[in-house]
Amino acid sequence: MAGCHATVFSPSPADKLRQQAQELEAKNVALESQVEELRAQLAIKSEAATKTPSAELEEATPHVAKISIGNLSRALPKKETAGQVAQSEKLVLFVNALDGRGGAIQLTGDLTLQASLQMSGKVIPLAAAHWGPLQLRNAYRNGLGNSHYSLETPIQVPPDCADATALVVVTYVDGWSGRTLKTERAIPWPIDDFTSEKSVKVEFEP
């Protein structure tokens, strides 16, 4: 019986050139998109100085109406490699933003986070963080799943806090209107090594 033989092709110089060409093309497309966005921003500023938007245009412009914390937000344990801490404990947060019609919308403002442990009538600070407009834009995720913001911040876990309740409060201040939106959510506590290692699929939570 004749055996099966696999043919292995060694990489050629043409393969490397092809890959470089694809990378350059991707960079070129990204730069063109950035240039077009800047042109749009300049056009808006020019129009705003000479033209008053119609009532229909104002009504059709979406605005942030609600923010929420996804149910897969949680604290992750520290990771050790060869007896050394490779990653400290951190809080991973998934934030959703909706417009008035329930559609996903991007945030253009400032977002702050306050996390604490509630235990025996005491409030123990766990984390505090802030993201500005550009940081929020970089944290926006719009892939195969639902649109959301993926945010991370280190936490300081106090000793003897296994019976505590962990609460996260997120406050968003819109950069255009100054309007403030706030949401909060209790996250799983104490930190669970098993659940933290599960593959995370972000679910949209209105």
Sorted by where each begins, the domain ranges of the chain are 11-61, 62-196
Cβ(65)–Cβ(99) below 8 Å = yes
Look at the block and give the residue holding tokens 């009504």.
59
User: Quick check: 188 and 195 in contact, CB under 8 A?
Assistant: yes
> What are the tens digits of pLDDT across the range 21-71?
888 888 877 777 777 766 766 666 666 667 788 889 888 989 999 999 999
Specify whether the CB–CB gap between 119 and 78 falls below 8 A: no
Enter the pTM of the model.
0.73
SS3 content of the chain, % helix, strand, coil (to 5): 25, 35, 35
Q: Are 44 and 158 in contact (CB under 8 A)?
A: no
Does the pLDDT value for residue 202 go beyond 50?
Answer: no
Say what the pLDDT of residue 201 is: 42
Identify the top-confidence range among 18-27, 37-46, 109-118, 136-145.
Answer: 109-118
What are the residues facing 128 on neighbouring strands? 114
Does position 87 have pLDDT exceeding 80, yes or no? no
Q: What is the pLDDT of residue 160?
A: 85
What residues are paired with 206 via a beta bridge?
none
**Parallel/antiparallel/unpaired status of strands 180-187 and 122-131:** unpaired
Q: How confident is the model at residue 206 (pLDDT cuts 50, 70, 90)?
A: very low
CATH number of 62-196: 2.60.40.1940
What is residue 61's DSSP assignment? S
